[in-house]
Chain A
Amino acid sequence: MSNNHLRITNYGLLLAILTAFIFALSPQALALAQGPTPTDDEVNRIAKQLYCPVCESTPLDVCPTEACRQWRELIRTMLAEGKSEAEIKQYFVEHYGARVLAEPPNRLVTYLVPAVVILLGAFMLFRGFQMWLKPSITEADVKKSAKREAKPVQDPYIAKLEEELKNRK
């Protein structure tokens, strides 16, 4: 009787270990081991920084297509696996190109080109305004002015005086 009881207890223990082992390998247990399922807010925090490459100009967090729903689920899975925001974004760029990013990649040329274009435009405007305010003097204007100053207008009083002096001689 006591031997039978012992055998039953051993079987029970074996069964418990076996059940625990099977449960440990189940997808649910694996999911639990990875941590709690990320919420929609956590997923959308990353999704809104990405754009749907299928329907243009639609952020991933609000895109209603099946493709975007799948990508949001992919973000959720990656978050559950412990991937960081940067790693997730990098994955999307590697697979679908930089066009999926809401903001362009942080490269020097991304900021340098617009800055150079803006400076060049500002310089052109500045020179344009300068020229409108002070119109340039052409060579013809200079010659005309020199000619005018070389032949000053005769004062009638001086002319009359010179005439009288001439007559006295």
Chain B
Amino acid sequence: MTDTSIPAARRGVPIWVQIIIWVFLVGLLGIVAVGLKRAQEGTVQPGAAIKDFTFELFEGYKYNGQSQIKLSDLRGKVVVINFWASWCKPCEQEAADLQAAWKEYEPTGKVVFIGADYVDTPKEADVYLKKFGITFPNGEDRDVARGRPLSQYFRIKGVPETYFIDRDGVLQYVQVGPFTSIEQIRVQVDKLLK
């Protein structure tokens, strides 16, 4: 006699929607965490093995008769990478010392200096290089193999910054800011040549 029919129970948010939401939230948190970690890391730290890169030289610059430099081809040599820009006044402070140091080490064939021109305009960069008579290999800050700035890989914080890589391709020292004397450059290079 009595009506015992019951209404159908309402279901909550479907399981697949819940999974999507959680995956999305966890992914978002992951991205934020990676971003924060990178921001705190600063530049590439000494002890890190430097990944191979290919560097295109400016017109008029050659290394061993080539217009490109591949880091892996320089194994067995000390590599000094200097990030600079024509608009950067502190870069001018160290330009002459870097060139003088290059002139000292070039004949040994054991050291290679590379100048990476950071966010610059070609005309002013050319004027800068001529002004300081810079002859060591120089080019635009770009890893042509990956199509990305080299500075992005080194996570530079500004210019000038100089990276000293040992004969095995491992970063050994980072100079943030300009060198104030040629002696500062010699100390780092000689340490790596021993």
Contacts and interface: CB of A to CB of B under 8 A. Distances in A.
A56 interface: no
B6 A146 contact: yes
A108 to B, nearest CB: 20
B149 A97 contact: yes
Please tell me the size bucket of the interface on B.
20 to 34
Interface string B109-144: 000000000011101100000000000000010000
Contact of B2 (A65, A96, A134, A149): A149
B59 to A, nearest CB: 15
A72 B149 CA distance: 21
Q: Which of A70, A136, A139 has the most B CB atoms < 10 Å from its CB?
A: A70
Interface string A113-153: 00000001001100100010010111100100110011010
B108 interface: no
Nearest to A67: B87
Given A66-B87, A95-B140, A96-B119, A152 B9 contact: no
The DSSP consensus for interface residues of chain B is loop
B9 A74 contact: no
A54 interface: yes
A142 B9 contact: yes
A53 B9 contact: no
Contacts of A54: 119
Interface SS of A by simple majority: helix
A65 B120 CA distance: 12
B2 A150 contact: yes
B9 A139 contact: yes
Interface string B59-89: 0000000000000000000000000011100
A146 B4 contact: yes
Contacts of B20: 120
B85 A67 contact: yes
Contacts of A142: 6-7, 9
Given A71-B121, A96-B119, A150 B4 contact: yes
Nearest to B3: A149
Contact of B119 (A53, A123, A134, A146): A53
B13 interface: yes
Given A54-B119, A95-B140, A120-B20, A131 B9 contact: no
A68 B20 CA distance: 44
A46 to B, nearest CB: 15
A73 interface: yes
A116 to B, nearest CB: 10
A67 B117 CA distance: 12
